[in-house]
Structure 1
Amino acid sequence: MLKKFVDPLPIMKTMRPAGCLHGVPYFSVTMKQTFQKLHRDLPPTKVWGYNGQYPGPTFHVWKHHPIHVLWKNDLPERHFLPIDTTVHGAEKSQPEVRTVVHLHGGVTPDTSDGYPEAWFTRHFKKAGPYFSHRMYTYPNHQDASNLWYHDHAMGITRLNIYAGLSGMYIVHDENEARLNLPCGPFDLPLIIQDRSFRADGSLFYPSRPAQPQTAPTPSVIPDFYGDTILVNGKVWPYLNVEPRKYRFRVLNGSNARIYSFSLSNGAPFIQIGTDQGLLETPVRVPALVLAPAERADVIIDFSTCYGKTIILENDFETKGEKADPETTGTIMQFRVNEKLSCGDHSSIPGWLAPVPKFTHVDRTRSLKLNMRKDSYGRNIHLLDDHLWSDPVTEVPKLGQTEVWSIVNETEAIHPIHLHLVRFQILDRQPFDVDVFKQEGKIILTGPRAAPDLNERGWKDTVRSRPGEVTRIMMRFGPYPGLFVWHCHILEHEDYEMMRPYFIRT
């Protein structure tokens, strides 16, 4: 058992441009292997990081100010985590180490979106003439929001992100700047992830599931839950804070774990934003639920807590088991022991930003989340009963608005993410799963439930709960082309719970 609260919370460095290309800032980012101290009592851990840092440096960009990023792969030839070569895209014929960067939540052309099959690798003589870099352009034509960048390589996303390939990408705009929210050293990103370690400090990731016995070795596992929580790349860190308001941009960067965050002193979070930007009005949230890839923009007021310590806790039940307060039930510690460095003149405004409603719909689709067995007896999670390699079935038209009814017949929560677009959650409604499985008919068994108050902003990832129809609404654009939608439980995404979709002109 590693001792808690012995390491300070790291603050990721800010990514700096290397120069300009035709008047547009240009960044150069290299993926490297390094060894990093993740806890005081652990030997340095082998990780992969952007510019050799885990998590990667934070991008700070402004709305309508585009940037270029040259993503370079300087990783080893061999992966240090177990690769299942029976997974589509990770066959023995492919290089072991492949990467492609996706700006999660970014409004980007498909050529810069990080399509899973658009991977690149180092130039190895044995591997053949592969690209070792990609230049992407991010237009940043979107409102202030907390995005993140991470690996998206076909068949090994779960391993590459677990190895460390993730970082924050924050979009600012003038509206947000006028709101007088906590800023500067009082505005911090929190990337929350779970990991497991061996005694020598190395990352542990299972090489096969406990069942079925027929699974190959290595084998993809149904989902991964680590027994140790890291924030910004440190195990159970602490943060010294002043008695004032702080803004925290919280990301669930875990492979599969869902969290329900709360504060040990019973104080609420004041949530001001969701995945894709600010809410219309702040919402008091006693417990903050985030599935993998979801983000929340929150304010915590420590002004009356001087001299106290407060624990950020988690009490989400995973597979019917409560979080252990000694391990996954604890996230980090706030120590309100710093004197005010200056007056706290920040505020929490009553109005934040408009979230206009859609006025019409051009098409409605019903898409199910289901499972079936593979040839080894393992579960394959699917989107509408299709494999990745099946022909494209979702072909919306550029500029049209659609409602997707996501019908979850499985027993798991699936965080569903669509690339390129932002959407609004309309409602959730229970249905008879048995009838649906047997007859394909949706028999609704209860009223429609509106999304929680803190879900009523722009989203790009939605929790689809078992036995419910989750309805979301979005306009497809502003770019045509080939994108993907998928479950953001990384083990599901890697093993077929991902589909391409095409926006036609």
Structure 2
Amino acid sequence: MSAFSRRGFLGVLGGAALAAAGCRAFAETSGQLLTSRAPLPRPFTVPLPIPRVARRTAPGRYEVTQRPAKIAIIPGLATEVWGYDGTFPGPTFDLRRGEATTISVRNELSVPTSTHLHGGVNPPDSDGYPTDLVVPAGHAHEHGGHAAVLHQGAKDYHYPLEQRAATLWYHDHRMDFTAPQVWRGLAGFALVRDAEEDALPLPGGERELPLMICDRAFEEDGSFRYPAHHDSDYMEGVEGDVILVNGAPWPVAEVSATRHRLRLLNASNARRYRLRLTPGGHFVQVGSDAGLLAAPIAHDEITIAPGERFDVVVDFSAYRVGSTVTLVNTLAGGPAGSVMRFVVARRARDDSAVPRVLSRPPERTRAVATRTFDFRRSESAWTINGQPYRPGVPLARPRLGTSEIWRLTSDFHHPVHLHLAHFQVLARNGRAPAATDGGWKDTVDVRPYEVVDVLARFDGYRGRYMMHCHNLEHEDMAMMADFDVV
């Protein structure tokens, strides 16, 4: 699998590709399909794996190593992944609010990396800035003329965790190469818990399932397939034809006829999903990107863009024992129309519940400024406000402890992610936000030619942070911008 970067990629883009992108956007397409050359496995035959929970090496400290490993994803074939501790997904970090944590990331790959804790309220030097790189020991590196901070062999990332309980995740964030390096496997869960969440009777233990949903394509030998350098057909973003959940293709999970908490994460490079349960049922949303909702919200379907998380409860007692419940994706046909399957295997006692009041989230505060950020394809790049990414050149300087309205506009599907700042969606095209926009978030699905207003709160730390499109190919093709919290 060869990587393509914006430097080489943009030189071969033409008007025809842009026109095609615009036409397909209205059909809910958010990327270009890359098909596998390996035979696709039969769905619902592989058990759902649960990523292992990382163990501390000392109080408040973890150590993890990025390294290649061969694993079985497509039955009968071996796939080389780049994984945290050689696994895909990486280990889950089960963390607690207020318990400051250091995670040492060692790089034993052949390329530099930068690890971003997505949704974390972190000091700027531990935020995973794209030119703050961990370089493999003994390797010299220059990054395309951009000034980079280099750490030889390993880096300690310090996370104060002064934030509410939430489903976070971590992934590679290297400039120009985020997409191919995440595609190879550099991603995992980080769950933050707190006393407010502990007091709720939500399902837990084996009935709490973190579900990392992503898509991949495979070569005949089982290796990951990804576009070659200079392949202009994939300017919109890369979608695969194999849907993975926790690294397994279309897995199946046995569940009891009880409530289960599903922590849904879209870790795809570009693919959006509209999730439904078949033969019917609903999701009771209890949390969004940045933590618990004030009160639960029921949804028949959930559209989830890259980078977004939905914390939901599904009550499997609504189905008869022995039946199957399939999580489907109505934004795709064929293989990508299915995600995973649950088998309701047995009855069991259930003392869980979804209370009417879940939390007391932070209140909105008055905005001190309004800014507009336009996410759009220019002649030479995916841009924000007409500018390709320029490291160290901020497009905004919000003040610490204040809130601002950021108006996000687009020409295509752009899931917009803010580092550090959490926000609430105020409006879509001047109207009320969608029911699935509820709660405090860090990523919002901005659809073609849409105007989305968010109220962003800049709490935590002063320093340099970023916003970008979380379509990872767009991010690599310069759709990022710095902002300085002053």
Q: Bin the TM-score by the shorter chain.
A: 0.7 to 0.9
Runs of 4 or more off by more than 4 Å in structure 1? 125-130, 208-212
* Alpha-carbon separation, structure 1, partners of 2:141 and 2:284: 51
Shift of 1:339: 4.2
Contact 2:72 2:79 in 1 (8 A): yes
2:111 matched to 1:111? no
| Structure-to-structure mapping, 1:343-422, within 5 angstroms | 343-374=349-380, 380-389=381-390, 391-408=393-410, 410=411, 412-422=412-422
Alignment of 1:88-487 (within 5 A): 97-124=111-138, 131-207=152-228, 211=232, 221-305=235-319, 306-316=321-331, 323-324=332-333, 326-340=334-348, 343-374=349-380, 380-389=381-390, 391-408=393-410, 410=411, 412-429=412-429, 448-487=430-469
Equivalent position amino acid for 1:8 in 2: P
Match of 1:499 in 2: 481
Percent identity between the two aligned chains: 38
TM-fit CA distance, 1:123: 1.7
Quote the offset at 1:406 in angstroms. 1.1
Task: From the superposition, tell whether residues 209 and 236 of structure 1 become closer, same or farther in structure 2 (CA, over 3 Å).
Answer: farther
User: What is the distance in 2 between the residues matched to 1:179 and 1:345?
Assistant: 11
Q: Report if aligned partners of 2:365, 2:403 keep a CA contact under 8 Å in 1.
A: no
Q: Structure 2 vs 1, CA of residues 209 and 283 (structure 1 numbering), >3 Å: closer, same or farther?
A: farther
Matched, 1:33 2:65: no
Alpha-carbon distance in structure 2 between the residues aligned to 1:16 and 1:312: 31
8 Å Cα contact 1:192/1:253 also seen in 2: yes
Which structure is higher in RCO with an 8 Å CA cutoff and minimum separation 6? 2
Deviations 1:325-348 (A, max 9, x none): x300000110111342xx100001
User: What is the SS of the residue equivalent to 2:346?
Assistant: coil
* CA deviation string 1:44-96 (max 9, x = no partner): 10001111111001011111111111111011x3xxxxxxxxxxxxxxxxxxx
* Paired residues of 2:468 and 2:475 also in contact (CA < 8 A): yes
Describe the shift of the 1:63–1:465 C-alpha distance in structure 2 as closer, same or farther (beyond 3 A).
same
- Which shifted more, 330-339 or 65-74? 330-339
Contact 1:222 1:492 (C-alpha < 8 Å) held by counterparts: yes
CA contact (8 A) 2:55 2:62 kept: yes
User: How far does residue 456 in structure 1 lie from its aligned partner after superposition?
Assistant: 1.8
What residue number does 2:82 align with? 48
**Gaps (5+ residues) in structure 2?**
1-39, 143-149
Instruction: Provide the rounded CA distance (Å) in 2 between the counterparts of 1:198 and 1:387.
Output: 33
Is the partner of 2:152 in helix, strand or coil?
coil
State the alpha-carbon separation in 1 of the partners of residues 99 and 248 from structure 2. 32
Does structure 2 retain, via aligned residues, the 8 Å contact 1:10–1:234?
Answer: yes
Q: What is the distance in 2 between the residues matched to 1:254 and 1:248?
A: 17
Q: Which moved more, 1:201-210 or 1:185-194?
A: 201-210
Contact 2:401 2:458 in 1 (8 A): yes
Question: Partner letter of residue 346 of structure 2?
Answer: E
CA separation in 2, counterparts of 1:113 and 1:202?
31
State the distance in 2 between where 1:184 and 1:28 align. 24
Residue in structure 2 matched with residue 81 of structure 1 by the alignment:
none
Contact 2:382 2:388 in 1 (8 A): no
Deviation at 1:210, TM superposition (A): 6.1
TM-score normalised over the length of structure 2: 0.87
1:496 is aligned with what amino acid?
A
Q: Secondary structure at the match of 1:161?
A: helix
Residue number in structure 2 paired with 1:489: 471
Alpha-carbon deviation of 1:126?
Answer: 6.0
Q: Does structure 1 retain, via aligned residues, the 8 Å contact 2:327–2:339? A: yes
CA shift digits 1:102-149 (9 cap, x unpaired): 000001100110110001121235659861111011111111100000
Per the normalisation by structure 1, the TM-score is 0.84
Distance (Å, rounded) in 1 between the aligned partners of 2:482 and 2:54: 31
**Structure-2 separation of matches of 1:500 and 1:286:** 37
- Alignment size in residue pairs: 438
- Unpaired segments of 5 or more residues in structure 1? 78-96, 213-219, 317-322, 375-379, 430-447
Once the two structures are TM-superposed, the CA of residue 221 in structure 1 deviates from its matched residue by 3.6
Q: Which has the larger radius of gyration?
A: 1
